[in-house]
C-alpha cells in the first residue's frame, strides 16, 4: 500500500478522500496550508500572498523529507507547494481556481505553471474541462465523493412543499442575481431560507431579508440533516453544473431546481428541474406544490443518480488509476 500526502482541503473533499484511501489500506497524511489573507480582495490579496507563501515553508520541508509515494494537492494555485518541494504531484481543480483565477494576472500565471508541472490534473465538475485545453493528456474527471447512506441515512422524500432552501453561496459566480429576484413570489408559496454565506450576503440580507430567512452556515457534517428540514432546494444558476450543494441535496432525497447545461451530462442525465431565471423558479415550485408524485420521483431518482455517479467506490477507482497507472478516467 502507498503513503499519500493530501495537501490542503476544499469543502471537506480531501478529508473524505483520506477516509476512502485509508479504507483501501493506504497510509494518508493530511497537510493543511495556512490561509492568511486568502479571503482578502485585490489588491490587498497581492500583499498577503508573499506572507502566505512564506508560511508554506514548514509544509514544503515536510513534503521534501517525507517518503511519500503520492503527493495530491487541492486547489491549483496551491500546487506551487509541490513545485517548491521539488516533488512530483497531482493537482485537483475545484472551480474558481480555474474560471476565476485564470483571468487574474497573478494567479493565472501560477495556475498555468502548476498545470504544466503536475503529473495529472483532477477536475470535479464537467464544465472545468473547457478551461483545461492543452492539458487533455493528463486530465481525470473526478466527481466529488458522496457517502449517500451517511449524509442522510433515514431520509424520506417530501410529500408537500412548505419550505424552500436557496442552497447557494451568495456570490455572483453562483448566479444569485437570477435566484433572489424570485424571493418575494416564492415567499407567497412557501417559507424561504438561504445560508448567510458569501461576499454579497450583507447587501442581499438588506434587500431580501423581508422574504428570506438567512440562516447560519452549518458544519459540513450536519449538511444532510440541515437540507432535510426543507422540501425543495434551489441551486446555483450560472455555471451549468451540479455543485456539491446540489449533489448533497439530491443525496438527501430533496428535489433540486437549478440551471444546468445538460450537454455536460450526456452519459447520465441528472433528474433535476432545469430553470433559467426567477420566473422559471417560481413556476417550478408552484408545479411541485401540486404534484406530490413528482416530488417523490425527483427525490428517489436524485438519490439513485448520486449513488451511481459519486460513490466512494468510483472515486477510489479513479484515484488509484491515476496514482498507480491501473486505469484512467478522462470522460467529459
Q: What is the pLDDT of residue 46?
A: 63
Q: What is the pLDDT of residue 291?
A: 95
Q: Where along the chain do its domains lie?
A: 3-145+311-324, 148-310
The yes-or-no answer to whether 3-145+311-324 and 148-310 have a common fold is: yes
Asked whether the whole model's pTM tops 0.85, one would answer no
Q: Please provide the size of the chain in residues.
A: 332
Quote the CA–CA distance of 272 and 302 in Å, as a whole number.
Answer: 7
Of 52, 176, 59, the closest CA to residue 107 belongs to 52
As given in the structure block, the three cell numbers for residue 128 are: 472545468
Q: What is the pLDDT of residue 36?
A: 63
Rounded to the nearest 5 percent, the helix, strand and coil shares of the chain are 50, 15, 35
Assigned fold of 3-145+311-324:
Rossmann fold (3.40.50)
Per-residue pLDDT, averaged over 245-251, amounts to: 95
Q: Report in angstroms the alpha-carbon separations of 224 from 6, 99, 109, 146.
A: 25, 28, 38, 11
Assigned fold of 148-310:
Rossmann fold (3.40.50)
The number of beta carbons lying within 10 Å of the beta carbon of residue 133 is 7
Residue 330 predicted with pLDDT over 90: no
Q: What is the pLDDT of residue 292?
A: 94
Q: What is the pLDDT of residue 328?
A: 44
Amino acid at each position: 500500500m502507498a503513503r499519500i500526502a493530501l495537501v490542503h482541503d476544499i469543502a471537506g473533499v480531501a478529508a473524505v478522500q483520506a477516509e476512502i484511501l485509508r479504507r483501501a489500506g493506504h497510509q494518508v497524511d493530511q497537510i493543511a496550508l495556512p490561509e492568511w489573507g486568502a479571503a482578502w480582495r485585490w489588491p490587498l490579496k497581492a500583499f498577503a500572498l508573499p506572507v502566505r507563501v512564506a508560511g508554506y515553508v514548514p509544509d514544503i520541508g515536510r513534503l521534501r523529507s517525507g517518503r511519500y509515494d503520492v503527493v495530491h494537492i487541492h486547489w491549483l494555485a496551491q500546487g506551487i507547494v509541490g513545485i517548491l518541494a521539488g516533488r512530483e504531484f497531482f493537482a485537483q481543480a475545484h472551480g474558481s481556481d480555474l474560471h476565476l483565477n485564470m483571468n487574474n494576472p497573478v494567479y493565472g500565471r501560477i495556475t498555468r505553471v502548476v498545470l504544466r508541472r503536475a503529473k495529472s490534473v483532477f477536475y470535479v465538475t464537467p464544465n472545468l474541462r473547457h478551461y483545461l485545453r492543452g492539458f487533455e493528456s493528463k486530465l481525470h474527471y473526478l466527481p466529488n465523493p458522496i457517502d449517500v447512506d451517511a449524509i442522510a441515512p433515514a431520509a424520506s422524500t417530501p410529500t408537500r412543499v412548505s419550505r424552500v432552501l436557496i442552497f447557494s453561496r451568495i456570490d455572483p459566480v453562483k448566479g444569485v442575481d437570477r435566484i433572489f429576484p424570485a424571493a418575494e413570489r416564492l415567499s407567497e408559496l412557501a417559507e424561504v431560507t438561504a445560508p448567510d454565506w458569501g461576499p454579497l450576503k450583507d447587501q442581499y440580507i438588506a434587500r431580501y431579508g423581508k422574504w428570506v430567512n438567512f440562516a447560519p452556515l452549518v458544519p459540513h457534517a450536519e449538511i444532510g440533516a440541515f437540507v432535510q428540514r426543507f422540501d425543495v432546494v434551489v441551486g446555483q444558476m450560472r455555471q451549468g453544473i451540479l455543485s456539491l450543494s446540489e449533489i448533497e441535496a439530491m443525496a438527501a432525497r430533496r428535489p433540486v431546481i437549478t440551471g444546468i447545461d445538460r450537454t455536460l451530462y450526456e452519459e447520465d442525465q441528472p433528474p433535476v428541474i432545469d430553470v433559467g431565471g426567477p420566473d422559471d423558479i417560481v413556476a417550478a415550485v408552484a408545479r411541485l406544490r401540486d404534484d406530490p408524485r413528482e416530488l417523490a420521483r425527483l427525490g428517489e431518482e436524485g438519490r439513485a443518480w448520486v449513488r451511481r455517479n459519486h460513490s466512494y467506490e468510483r472515486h477510489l477507482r479513479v484515484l488509484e488509476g491515476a496514482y498507480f497507472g491501473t486505469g484512467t478516467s478522462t470522460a467529459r
